[in-house]
Amino acid sequence: MFVAIGLLMGFLAPFASERAPVVTRYVHWMICMVGGGVIGILVDDLASLRMAATWRRVVAVSAVMTPPVSLLVLTTEHVLANAPFGWPGYWWLFWQVGPISLAMMAVRALVWRNVPVRVETRTVIAAPLPEAEAAFRRRLSAKRRAARLIAVEAHDHYLKVHTGAGEELITLRFADALEELAQAHGWRVHRSWWVAADAVETVRWRRGAGEIGLAGGLTAPVSRTHAPVLKDAGWF
């Protein structure tokens, strides 16, 4: 970064440095910018032991590094351009070196700032234990007994069981079905719907009512009463 700044300053040639030969001008600014940057880093490392990485530290480091960097610039001008080496020139350099040091350390602080870490979370649903659904699955036909359980929908005196192998009607009270599925990975989301947790793909909430998108393109309603279970699972 300091090399890039040195090249830029050599190209812009501020503070009447355009009068110097091109090679001398670039060498001068590279020494001043890279050397001054190294001094700033050393001062900043020492300051970090007592001060947090704030803009107050940037200002403090810039103020502390200005005297030694000014001496570096004065020495470089004396060696490369035979400029006078004395206190008048040294104090005059303070007004030039100070703002540049502040700008350099500010750019460094921006480049090396700690970017907030973005953490993404996902609710992972474990596969259901076979015994958790065993009693309920025994009520299904052989074709669907081992199929993926998606949802259970109450219809008067019977239930419509949605599986990966299709739908099936069974005669059973919804309350009894909920009792048999109490240990399974799923939730009651409506007065007449139970859904398997691993079958939920999307959840939407609109105007006080929700809707669940399930595997196989199935859609189930979500009532306000049973919405908290989905919220606890991370869907809201």
User: The tokens of 231 are what?
Assistant: 């919220």
Domain termination residue (choose one: 58, 81, 111): 111
Tell me, yes or no, whether 118 lies in a domain.
no
Residue 123 is predicted with a pLDDT of 52
Determine the pLDDT at residue 169.
94
Q: What are phi and psi of 229, to 5 degrees?
A: -65, -35
Question: Do both 38 and 90 map to the same domain?
Answer: yes
Which long-range contacts link 137-141 to residues 24+ away (Cβ below 8 Å)?
Answer: 139/170, 139/172, 140/168, 140/170, 141/168
Structurally, the chain folds into a number of domains equal to 2
Q: Which residue range forms the structural domain that includes residue 155?
A: 130-232
DSSP states along 36-62: HHHHHHHHHHHHTTTS-SSHHHHHHHH
The answer to whether residue 124 is domain-embedded is: no
In this structure, are 67 and 153 located in the same domain?
A: no
- Write down the pLDDT at residue 96: 86
pLDDT of res. 83:
85
Q: Does residue 121 lie within any of the structural domains?
A: no
Predicted confidence at residue 116, as pLDDT, reads: 55
Mean pLDDT split into 10-residue runs, the chain, 236 residues:
88 84 90 91 85 82 91 90 84 86 87 60 52 87 91 91 93 92 91 92 81 92 88 79
Residues 187, 107, single domain; the answer is no
Determine what percent of the chain falls in helix, strand and coil, rounding each to the nearest 5: 50, 20, 30
One domain, residues 81 and 164: no
Please tell me whether residues 169 and 136 are part of one structural domain. Answer: yes
Strand order in the sheet with 149-155: 166-170, 158-163, 149-155, 193-196, 186-190
pLDDT confidence of residue 152: 95
pLDDT at residue 168 in the model: 93
Of the residues 79, 111, 143, which one is the last residue of a structural domain?
A: 111
Give how far Cα 125 sits from Cα of 128, 159, 194, Å. Answer: 9, 25, 16
- pLDDT reported for residue 130: 58
- Residues 52, 106, single domain; the answer is yes
For residue 120, being part of any structural domain is answered with no
Residue 15 in any domain: the answer is: yes
Please report whether residue 123 resides in a domain: no
State the burial class of residue 61 (Cβ atoms within 10 Å of its Cβ: 0-12, 13-18, 19+).
buried
Q: Are residues 88 and 153 in the same domain?
A: no
The enclosing domain of 149 has a CATH number of 2.40.50.1020
